[in-house]
Structure 1
Amino acid sequence: MFRWFEQLIDPLRTPEQPAPPDRLGPFFWYFARQVWPVLAAVMAVGLAVALIEVQMFNYVGRIVDILRQTTPEDLIADYGGELLVMALVIGVARPVATAAHLLLVHQAIEPNLTNLVRWQTHRYVLRQSMSFFQNDFAGRIANKIIQTGPSLRECVVSLVDAIWFVSVYAASAMFLFAEADPRLMIPLSVWIVLYVGILWTFVPRIKRQAAVMSEARSALTGRIVDSYTNIMTVKLFSHADREDTYARESVDDHTAKFKVLLRNVTAMSVLLTVVNGLLIVGTCALAVWLWQASAITVGAIALATGLVIRINNMSGWIMWVVTTVFENLGTVEEGMETISRPYEITDRPRAPALKVAAGAIGFDHIRFHYGKEGGVIDDLSLAIRPGERVGLIGRSGAGKSTLVNLLLRFHDLEGGRILIDGQDISAVTQESLRAAIGVVSQDTSLLHRSVRDNISYGHVDAGEREIVEAARKAQAHEFILDLEDLRGRRGYDAHVGERGVKLSGGQRQRIAIARVLLKDAPILVLDEATSALDSEIEVAIQNQLYELMEGKTVIAIAHRLSTIARMDRLIVLDRGRIVEDGSHEALLEKGGLYSQLWNHQSGGFLDLGADAASEAAE
């Protein structure tokens, strides 16, 4: 039975449209409509539960009147059938309706709707541009996705469950009061007006403050995660106290905003307690006065008293429900602002996949400025022949990595075109473009998964033999066999920690190279691919990389010019422009910038000089 209800909603269903709406109402409806049959069932069962609950108080009043009208000997004969119906409603119908309600809410909606929101928002955010992630804390983004799911679910469940239940309950109570004597409706009517007024005054304030507090919580999470992610830097510079201060600022900010929120919650609770007391006193006093005037029976007094006490108890519950709804509305709204941002980099409608037959690359009068004044890449043209190996050289800030990022379409051009085998990369799908390019970067990042998972990321269908062979070629197999994590997993099963923190820089680099070897893409980009390796390992891997380059179009970036001197062509960039183009020997003979850089090298490393130090790093 539990499993049947748990399978009513698929939390991993594919969204009906790619982007969640960026307005609050449509954002809620976008997810609620995917589970509307279950929500409708909750409303139907909630109606039944509310009517039964109110009817129970009616039964109490009715039983009081029955006992006044009959004798013990005649009770069953005169009212046995009516009492049996009461017993069946309370003993059978009520448990069945309540069980159905709980199963729908706890088994069908709560786990599944929560994770449906998380799953679909994660799928959308994961496909955002690099700039999206570079301009925010990873922890803050993740926190918004994690907390938006339960907050949206709480709002939806409360609206279709608790508030609907109370509305039916209050309407039914008014009906029973009117049936006994219309004057009994007066205290409850006044109470409803005052109650709604209190909520109307305080709840919007709480909503606004909840949104502010949610943002403060996300900022606090982001700062804490930032410290943990960069724990090596914190330790190396002995800045634990500085990180304390950095986090303390957010803790203080969050605490202050939390206090403002709770002030309003406390004021609202006190006012509600006063109004509830007036409801009980007013209703009971009025009921006794009407009884004295022979306008109602003792059973009606029991009904009225029981109902207002029940409403008093429920009012606190509904107050917290409404407050929670608006708190969660603020949380959802704050999360939606991040989650529902439109993509900066999008595929054209019905864009085809890139087809790489030869691997020719053309940069055709491209311009890109990172949105800043002045040139980063300005009217650059470059043709790379199929299978040609090209080295990019230049000081920091010259535009080397920017050129590679544009080739990978991490940013859209401001002018010009980039072509691969004659196909404009802006006209093909991003997934197919990046699948055709293997990249080994200087800043190697590994997933906190097993070594096997990290290597097979280059080719998810690779078998064990292929994974091991790639590791051998990257000079990684031997150290992998010696790895063991805290859970006792060894070798290729060992997990490497967040961003590969459990491994040395050289070990991370070798696994990254194995990953690209396994990918075996027709275009290869090496961005300081061997910078983290010692000389002996570098020589061994260089030989494997040269084998990998066979038949591929290669773009290599290195500050150690000796590592790319064997390229077919060297392209020297300066301030986003090509200033020299030729082989190693030809450029040395020319005596230009490349020759200066070559002569300034010391120990194989590039002396960037004072001018380069002032330039922005890529």
Structure 2
Amino acid sequence: MFRRFERLLHPYPEAEPALPPKGFVSFVWACTAGLRGYIGWLALLSAAISTYEALLFWMLGRILDWLPAVEPARLWTLHGPVLEVLAIVLLASIVLIALQTIVKHQTLAINFPLRLRWNFHRLMLGQSMAFYSDEFAGRVTTKVMQTALAVREMVFTTTEVIIGIGVYFLTIVLLAAGFDQRLMLPFLLWLAAYGVSVWYFVPRLGRIGKAQADARAMMTGRITDAYTNISTVKLFSHTHREAGFARQAMQEFRTTGYRQMRMVSAFEIVNHALVVLLILGATGYALLLWSRGQVGPGAVAAVSAMALRISGMSHWIMWEMASLFENVGTVQDGMGTLTRPRAVVDRPDAAVLQVPRGEVKFEAVRFGYGKPTPVIDDFHLTVRPGEKIGLIGRSGAGKSTLVNLLLRFYDVDGGRILIDGQDISRVTQDSLRSHIGMVTQDTSLLHRSVRDNILYGRPGASEEEMVQAARRAEAHDFVLGLSDLHGRRAYDAHVGERGVKLSGGQRQRIAIARVMLKDAPILLLDEATSALDSEVEAAIQASLNQLMRGKTVIAIAHRLSTIMAMDRLIVMDQGRIVEEGDHRSLLAQGGLYAKLWAHQSGGFLGES
């Protein structure tokens, strides 16, 4: 039975998630898409259970009124049918409780936040590179995880506390009036005072909760950032510095935590004072009416029990309401990240890119990362099908920016980029990048097996094709000797976060194998062999030459000797082409390329 309810809600919908709205209510409403029916059932069941609990006290009062007025032998004769109905109601409550807890815990408790995290994660995966350049990875992760949980808790609190307790309180007030209308007065006065205290404290707790959620995300982000860059931290002996950096964030979290706890303590003191006054007022007033003969002992017992029940529930309600507004703050904090529009999106009518030839053309391209001074300005370049060009220039000349624009990590500010005559802004990003292979200087591997990392280039490739790509990249021999702490070996061994368990040269060879397996018609090389020693580089260069055969190649290198044999060299400065030609003709011109060649130290491009 549990499994049947667990399968009612699918946590991983296939449809692409839409960007959530920025308004708080509309954001939460959008989060409940596909499961509002189950939430409705949870609310109805919670209301039914609350009504049942209130009826228990009314039953107790009526029974106490019957006992003095009837002989024990005639109790079942006079009131038997009513007592049987009460017994049936008690037994039926088992079904109500069972349904409510199964809908809550089996259908919603796990599937609800999983569904939100799945959708939020896909939204974040679709964000542009500019988005991630401004965010901590750990901070984004925290927003995805804690916002989903906060939305679930808000829904549960709303259905169980606001709806359930609202129905409960309304029922007990009406039942108290059934004994005597004047008995409603203590409860209504308490409700008014309790409402004022909630109105004062809870929104303030919500604002503190939002600040605390942001402080928590910042703290997590800083700690994660240190772990992600642990080699840099240790290289510069900055473990104490990083601890201090995290401590600043912890101190901010501590400050918001103290503010929250002060408010909670004040709320709890006020809440308890109101509860004591309710018990004194309700019980005392009922006793006063009983002493005048205006109500029976059942009314005194029922009203006293109701007041005591509210006493116990009010603390729970207080914490649930405080939690509700803390979760409201958490959701509001997460919304700033999760509702941010994507900077690079596919057009609704985007086509699938077709690359029969591999021509790349830049037409009057202008781009500046949102700044007034462009990094690339009025850039024109045509790379013929199968041509191999090298991009050369000092740091900041715009070489890597040009590659990022071709991959459409960013959209151009002006002009356009064409592949075989197709504007890349009018095709899908996935189809664009599926036709481009790239090997970068800063190789990043996934914390998975070597096999998974190589097959990332073409997941459908066979084992033989994967191994062949590793052989061509001169990676097969060292891969066979790999192992990890879990006893996995060779291609099953895991490489650690960002490939930390491998040397720079090994990571580079895995990355080259991945691109070789992808076998895309356009190839981008950004310092592709910079992490390799001379012997390995010479071996891989032959593989790269084979990989480049028949492809359109754009290569970036500070070590000019690695690209001097390209068909054409493009010399860039301040976002423009200042020279172009082959190695010999550029040296003969005596221009910028000749100066860069002359200033190389050990084969590397100098900064001056």
Into which bin does the TM-score normalised by the smaller protein fall? over 0.9
Q: Aligned letter for 1:561?
A: L
* Shift, 1:71, TM fit: 2.0
* Shift, 1:466, TM fit: 0.9
Q: In structure 1, how many angstroms separate the alpha carbons of the residues matched to 2:29 and 2:605?
A: 58
The answer for the alignment partner of 1:234 in structure 2 is 233
The answer for the alignment partner of 1:159 in structure 2 is 158
The answer for the alignment partner of 2:56 in structure 1 is 56
Task: Kindly indicate whether the alpha-carbon contact (under 8 Å) linking 2:47 and 2:164 is maintained by their aligned counterparts in 1.
Answer: yes
Task: Kindly indicate whether the alpha-carbon contact (under 8 Å) linking 2:17 and 2:123 is maintained by their aligned counterparts in 1.
Answer: no
* Shift, 1:414, TM fit: 1.2
* Shift, 1:16, TM fit: 7.1
Render the CA deviation track for 1:471-508: whole Å, top value 9, x for unaligned.
Answer: 11111111111111111111111111111111111111
The answer for the alignment partner of 1:35 in structure 2 is 35
More divergent stretch after superposition (186-195 vs 473-482)? 473-482
Q: Aligned letter for 1:521?
A: A
The answer for the alignment partner of 1:394 in structure 2 is 393
Q: In structure 1, how many angstroms separate the alpha carbons of the residues matched to 2:444 and 2:108?
A: 37
The answer for the alignment partner of 2:69 in structure 1 is 69
Render the CA deviation track for 1:536-570: whole Å, top value 9, x for unaligned.
Answer: 11111111111111111000011111111111000
1:22 is paired with a residue whose SS is coil
Q: Aligned letter for 1:173?
A: I
Q: In structure 1, how many angstroms separate the alpha carbons of the residues matched to 2:190 and 2:522?
A: 74
* Shift, 1:348, TM fit: 1.3
The answer for the alignment partner of 1:616 in structure 2 is none
Q: Aligned letter for 1:220?
A: M
Q: Give the fraction of aligned pairs with identical amino acids, expressed as a percent.
A: 52
The answer for the alignment partner of 2:402 in structure 1 is 403
Q: In structure 2, how many angstroms separate the alpha carbons of the residues matched to 1:256 and 1:151?
A: 21
The answer for the alignment partner of 1:24 in structure 2 is 24
* Shift, 1:15, TM fit: 5.0
Task: Kindly indicate whether the alpha-carbon contact (under 8 Å) linking 2:566 and 2:582 is maintained by their aligned counterparts in 1.
Answer: yes
Q: In structure 2, how many angstroms separate the alpha carbons of the residues matched to 1:219 and 1:497?
A: 25
1:117-136 residue pairs with structure 2 within 5 A?
117-136=116-135
The answer for the alignment partner of 1:614 in structure 2 is none
Q: In structure 2, how many angstroms separate the alpha carbons of the residues matched to 1:514 and 1:359?
A: 21
Q: Aligned letter for 1:318?
A: I
Q: In structure 2, how many angstroms separate the alpha carbons of the residues matched to 1:481 and 1:575?
A: 46
The answer for the alignment partner of 1:212 in structure 2 is 211
Q: Aligned letter for 2:68?
A: R
Q: In structure 2, how many angstroms separate the alpha carbons of the residues matched to 1:375 and 1:425?
A: 20
Q: In structure 2, how many angstroms separate the alpha carbons of the residues matched to 1:203 and 1:562?
A: 68
1:307-456 residue pairs with structure 2 within 5 A?
307-456=306-455
The answer for the alignment partner of 1:550 in structure 2 is 549
Distance 1:410 1:228, change over 3 A: same
Task: Kindly indicate whether the alpha-carbon contact (under 8 Å) linking 1:451 and 1:494 is maintained by their aligned counterparts in 2.
Answer: yes
Task: Kindly indicate whether the alpha-carbon contact (under 8 Å) linking 1:15 and 1:120 is maintained by their aligned counterparts in 2.
Answer: no
Q: In structure 1, how many angstroms separate the alpha carbons of the residues matched to 2:14 and 2:253?
A: 36
Q: In structure 2, how many angstroms separate the alpha carbons of the residues matched to 1:287 and 1:602?
A: 97
* Shift, 1:373, TM fit: 3.4
1:571 is paired with a residue whose SS is strand
Q: In structure 2, how many angstroms separate the alpha carbons of the residues matched to 1:254 and 1:48?
A: 40
Task: Kindly indicate whether the alpha-carbon contact (under 8 Å) linking 2:358 and 2:522 is maintained by their aligned counterparts in 1.
Answer: yes
1:34 is paired with a residue whose SS is coil
Task: Kindly indicate whether the alpha-carbon contact (under 8 Å) linking 2:17 and 2:122 is maintained by their aligned counterparts in 1.
Answer: no
TM-score (norm 2): 0.99
Task: Kindly indicate whether the alpha-carbon contact (under 8 Å) linking 1:442 and 1:527 is maintained by their aligned counterparts in 2.
Answer: yes
Q: Aligned letter for 1:27?
A: F
1:456-495 residue pairs with structure 2 within 5 A?
456-495=455-494
Render the CA deviation track for 1:267-318: whole Å, top value 9, x for unaligned.
Answer: 0110010000000000001001111111111111111011111111111111
The answer for the alignment partner of 2:85 in structure 1 is 85
Q: In structure 2, how many angstroms separate the alpha carbons of the residues matched to 1:429 and 1:130?
A: 16
More divergent stretch after superposition (588-597 vs 450-459)? 588-597
* Shift, 1:17, TM fit: 5.1
Task: Kindly indicate whether the alpha-carbon contact (under 8 Å) linking 1:14 and 1:120 is maintained by their aligned counterparts in 2.
Answer: no
Q: In structure 1, how many angstroms separate the alpha carbons of the residues matched to 2:43 and 2:351?
A: 46
Q: In structure 1, how many angstroms separate the alpha carbons of the residues matched to 2:511 and 2:452?
A: 12
Match status 1:276 vs 2:270? no
The answer for the alignment partner of 1:299 in structure 2 is 298
Match status 1:289 vs 2:319? no
* Shift, 1:33, TM fit: 3.3
Render the CA deviation track for 1:324-348: whole Å, top value 9, x for unaligned.
Answer: 1110000001001101101111111
The answer for the alignment partner of 2:569 in structure 1 is 570
More divergent stretch after superposition (487-496 vs 64-73)? 64-73
Q: In structure 2, how many angstroms separate the alpha carbons of the residues matched to 1:158 and 1:5?
A: 21
The answer for the alignment partner of 1:10 in structure 2 is 10
Q: In structure 1, how many angstroms separate the alpha carbons of the residues matched to 2:578 and 2:114?
A: 54
Q: In structure 2, how many angstroms separate the alpha carbons of the residues matched to 1:64 and 1:375?
A: 86
Q: Aligned letter for 1:45?
A: L
2:35 is paired with a residue whose SS is helix
1:524 is paired with a residue whose SS is strand
Q: In structure 2, how many angstroms separate the alpha carbons of the residues matched to 1:30 and 1:16?
A: 14
Q: Aligned letter for 2:230?
A: I
1:245-256 residue pairs with structure 2 within 5 A?
245-256=244-255
Q: Which runs of 5+ in 2 are unaligned?
A: none
Q: In structure 2, how many angstroms separate the alpha carbons of the residues matched to 1:14 and 1:317?
A: 39
* Shift, 1:431, TM fit: 1.0
Structure 1 residue runs of 4 or more that deviate by more than 4 Å after TM superposition: none
* Shift, 1:161, TM fit: 2.2
Q: In structure 2, how many angstroms separate the alpha carbons of the residues matched to 1:78 and 1:374?
A: 94
Render the CA deviation track for 1:64-106: whole Å, top value 9, x for unaligned.
Answer: 122112222222222222222222222x111111111111111
1:74 is paired with a residue whose SS is helix
Q: In structure 2, how many angstroms separate the alpha carbons of the residues matched to 1:562 and 1:526?
A: 14
More divergent stretch after superposition (148-157 vs 363-372)? 363-372
Q: Which runs of 5+ in 1 are unaligned?
A: 610-618
Q: In structure 2, how many angstroms separate the alpha carbons of the residues matched to 1:33 and 1:128?
A: 22
Q: In structure 2, how many angstroms separate the alpha carbons of the residues matched to 1:264 and 1:151?
A: 20
* Shift, 1:130, TM fit: 0.2
2:72 is paired with a residue whose SS is coil
Q: In structure 2, how many angstroms separate the alpha carbons of the residues matched to 1:319 and 1:350?
A: 52
1:547 is paired with a residue whose SS is helix
Task: Kindly indicate whether the alpha-carbon contact (under 8 Å) linking 1:20 and 1:121 is maintained by their aligned counterparts in 2.
Answer: no
Task: Kindly indicate whether the alpha-carbon contact (under 8 Å) linking 2:21 and 2:27 is maintained by their aligned counterparts in 1.
Answer: yes
TM-score (norm 1): 0.97
Task: Kindly indicate whether the alpha-carbon contact (under 8 Å) linking 1:8 and 1:38 is maintained by their aligned counterparts in 2.
Answer: no
The answer for the alignment partner of 1:584 in structure 2 is 583
* Shift, 1:598, TM fit: 1.6
The answer for the alignment partner of 1:615 in structure 2 is none
Render the CA deviation track for 1:408-428: whole Å, top value 9, x for unaligned.
Answer: 111111111111101111111
1:366 is paired with a residue whose SS is strand
| Cα RMSD for the two superposed structures | 1.1
Task: Kindly indicate whether the alpha-carbon contact (under 8 Å) linking 2:17 and 2:119 is maintained by their aligned counterparts in 1.
Answer: no
Render the CA deviation track for 1:413-472: whole Å, top value 9, x for unaligned.
Answer: 111111110111111111111111100001100011111110000001011111111111
Q: Aligned letter for 1:30?
A: A
1:367 is paired with a residue whose SS is strand
Q: Aligned letter for 1:474?
A: A
Q: In structure 2, how many angstroms separate the alpha carbons of the residues matched to 1:84 and 1:489?
A: 67
The answer for the alignment partner of 2:265 in structure 1 is 266
Task: Kindly indicate whether the alpha-carbon contact (under 8 Å) linking 1:351 and 1:427 is maintained by their aligned counterparts in 2.
Answer: yes
More divergent stretch after superposition (584-593 vs 535-544)? 584-593
Q: In structure 1, how many angstroms separate the alpha carbons of the residues matched to 2:7 and 2:160?
A: 20
Match status 1:257 vs 2:253? no
Tell me the number of residue pairs that the alignment of Structure 1 and Structure 2 aligns. 608
Q: In structure 2, how many angstroms separate the alpha carbons of the residues matched to 1:31 and 1:345?
A: 23
Q: Aligned letter for 1:256?
A: T
* Shift, 1:575, TM fit: 1.1
1:326 is paired with a residue whose SS is helix
